[in-house]
Structure 1
């Protein structure tokens, strides 16, 4: 007997994969941390990732001699859960700070307080979550769609570790925003919908963000 599969089911499978593959932060995920999202445009990072960013056209190269790195924060405030406990939240912001400090420190002098000739880098983590992975290519095939649906319902499928950031770059004297970036990433997956997320799941993403920011510093100032 031939099993028939509806067009909506096949379309849903395709859209699930497309959603999983996208690295662009959609407008509905904007948090209000940044002052103006309308100026953001798609750009490629030094590592080839798509991000939304903006640099003031009035910014003069060489304007800043040093950087003040503000402590990262969750925005909006995140309440700990059984799957993402407070220990994970604290370790994530702590690791993000350390990664940014290490990478930026390679290319610019870091200071402990903002002031004249200082660029303030103000990072926020705007999303941290675990979500069921989208269907893989081989699961588009009709013979595997039913099995994939069963594993999703039972919580057996791998869970993506998702995290997003918004970073505001501000003048240390005036407080004016001179640049901004919005991006998201997917870390080490969880085995199922019961596994607790740790900072280790997203450290590689945070390392990549910090490295890209340091490499892109020349775009803003040098």
Structure 2
């Protein structure tokens, strides 16, 4: 058995303990924020990230001359902890609003509310978490297991952070769903299980989401084939 096969087998064997990190949002991780997840399919964003999305095949983007971005919300409502405070949750949603408006306004004027010819973006932060960093392949080898187990137990291992979003894109006149997206991303690693998570740890992820949404819309404007929002 060569080294690649050995590592793959060991990763599978230890997945219950550590997990093998994936950027794909799984159905069991859906929050319930969207009304219908059955239409979502796996796609790639302009930046190459995995996303789950659906776009109305009859969508005519030219109908929309401005965009209204609803204040982002937390769904489901989280319970603050010592490491993730209510103030941090608010800072994350506030920053999401800023990033979306900054990027989307590059392609469409911002509207003050929904209405005819207005596209509505309805975003939510659906998960923010930190957990012991997934085992690296070299750490899965038996000789390293004692150290890994000890450092995990004492909280000295790096803590990986994840944040997820779900968003609806609606017709501002009749509230018809035009598109949906579900995605997540990895924030900055925390040094241990005592370090407090802040909005700065996830800002790069949020910036990437907003930029991808805008790039997707720009593709719509220059192509007769709709590329999909948030993809």
Give the TM-score normalised by structure 1.
Answer: 0.91
In the alignment, which residue of structure 1 is the partner of 2:67? 67
8 Å contact kept, 1:128–1:163: yes
**Contact 1:63 1:221 (8 Å CA) reproduced:** no
Structure 1 spans left out of the alignment, 5+ residues: 1-7
Residue 164 of structure 1 is matched in structure 2 by 164
Structure 1 runs of 4+ with >4 Å offset = 14-18, 219-222
Using structure 2 for the length normalisation, give the TM-score: 0.88
**1:10–1:41 distance in 2 versus 1, CA, 3 Å:** closer
Within 2, Cα distance between the matches of 1:77 and 1:220?
34
How many residue pairs match? The answer is: 214
CA positional deviation for 1:191:
0.6
Mapped to 2, the partners of 1:19 and 1:38 lie a distance apart of 26
CA drift of 1:61 comes to 3.2
CA distance in 2, matches of 1:30, 1:221: 30
Deviation of the 1:34 alpha carbon: 0.6
Does the alignment pair 1:149 with 2:149? Answer: yes
Residue pair 1:17, 1:136 contacting (<8 A) in 2 also: no
1:26-82 per-residue CA deviation (whole Å, 9 max, x = no partner) reads: 111111111110000011100100100010011123121110000000001112110
- Structure 1 pair 16/205, CA: closer, same or farther in 2 (3 Å)? farther
5+ residue gaps in structure 2? 1-8, 223-231
Separation in structure 2 between the aligned mates of residue 15 and residue 102 of structure 1, nearest angstrom: 41
**Equivalent residues of 2:19, 2:135 under 8 A apart:** no
Written as runs of structure 1 = structure 2, the 5 A alignment for 1:61-210 is: 61-210=61-210
